[in-house]
Amino acid sequence: MEPGAAGGAAPEEAKRPCADSDGAAAKRRGTSVDDFAPQSMTLEAFRRLSRNQQKKVMRQELWDGRAAEFKDKQRQKRRECRRRHNQRVARGEAPARRPASEQTHSGVQVVLDMAFDDKMCDKEIKSVCAQVARCYAVNRQAPRQVALHVSRLYGKCRQRLGSATHYENWDAKHIVFHDAEYIDAFALDKHRLVYLTADSPNTADRLDPDKIYIIGGIVDKNRYPRLTLDKAEEQGIAHARLPIGQYVQMATRRVMTVNQIFEMLLRFIEIGDWRTAFMDVIPQRKFRDAPGGQEPEPEPEPEPEPEPESDGSSCASTEKAAD
């Protein structure tokens, strides 16, 4: 064989695996074009199609089959979830879903300040968006709801929350989104704004329906000390901290997530007792090493906490609100 002939045959041979890549992939999945039995047409009609058309038909039917199987599995998961929830309700381990007729509005307004997109990495953005979703969920089921607002949602936080939760479809009765900062969205009510931050010397002994309480939506590993307090002071708005240290002793640092702070507010609005609200929301592991294994007793005059070390799971703004 002449060199020219050999050289001309090589490219043709090289193309064959690529041309039949779909068929090879189908064989790896246990289905080949030659053995495929179509559901959308007769076998004779399928055989009359070109090879590429046969592959397209096969891919579409395999995709449709997997999609239907996936939907069926999702339905089964939802049924199983409802079954387990009903069993827990029957055992008194979980609250039943509350009818809307049993819910009332507390008059309190809460804002999640999301203007920290540029201060978080992707992992932290994912975490804080999950916390926002949790706030929306618990507010929907709360016996006494608050007017929940989200201000300055932009950038990666907006993209992540949209792709993970489709927040655009959330019920506006339970949450309202603002493109602007809260200072602009509530420009006429600036005197009512109160930023919850642990660095504040003021204590929020009660929740005033005439006030608008702000929770900083940031997870930052303590990279920005006094971030929310400095912001509140620069804007000339009031600030306060939750009285956790006055009611409970914690064996670990007082680091709370956005949704935990929000749930504490909801619980206090419902029962009017800070200590019970804290005990119901704060994870029990934070009390595990309490003296004598007993429930922590109130602190009459709590001393200032030392600056916490970074552990990769803290949320500066919520830690500030939870002192």
pLDDT > 90: percent of the chain: 47
Write down the catalytic residue from 22, 117, 199, 220: 220
User: DSSP secondary-structure letter at 110?
Assistant: E
Answer with the residue of higher pLDDT: 225 or 108. 108
- Residue 133 CB neighbour total at 10 angstroms: 16
Q: Where in the chain is the domain with CATH 3.40.1280.30?
A: 105-321
CATH number for 105-321 (one of 3.40.109.10, 3.40.50.10440, 3.40.1280.30, 3.20.20.140): it is: 3.40.1280.30
Question: Exposure of 322 by Cβ count < 10 A (0-12 exposed, 13-18 middle, 19+ buried)?
Answer: buried
What's residue 256's pLDDT?
A: 85
Residue 295: left if φ>0, alpha if ψ -120 to 50, beta else—which one? beta
d(CA 139, CA 137): 6
Q: With 60 as the cut, is the pLDDT of residue 310 above it?
A: no
Answer with the residue of higher pLDDT: 56 or 161. 161
220 is an active site residue: yes
Q: How confident is the model at residue 12 (pLDDT cuts 50, 70, 90)?
A: very low
What's residue 16's pLDDT?
A: 43
Q: With 80 as the cut, is the pLDDT of residue 318 above it?
A: no
Q: Is 246 helix (H, G, I), strand (E, B) or coil?
A: helix
Q: What is the mean pLDDT of the chain?
A: 80
Which H or E run contains 33? none
pLDDT digits over 218-272, tens only?
A: 997 678 889 999 999 999 999 999 999 899 887 666 668 999 999 999 999 999 9
By C-alpha distance, which of 53, 54, 15 is closest to 31? Answer: 54
Tell me the average pLDDT across 188-192: 97
By C-alpha distance, which of 92, 97, 21 is closest to 59? Answer: 21
Q: How confident is the model at residue 130 (pLDDT cuts 50, 70, 90)?
A: very high
What's residue 250's pLDDT?
A: 74
pLDDT digits over 21-76, tens only?
A: 444 444 444 467 777 888 788 888 888 888 888 888 888 888 887 777 888 888 88
What's residue 9's pLDDT?
A: 45
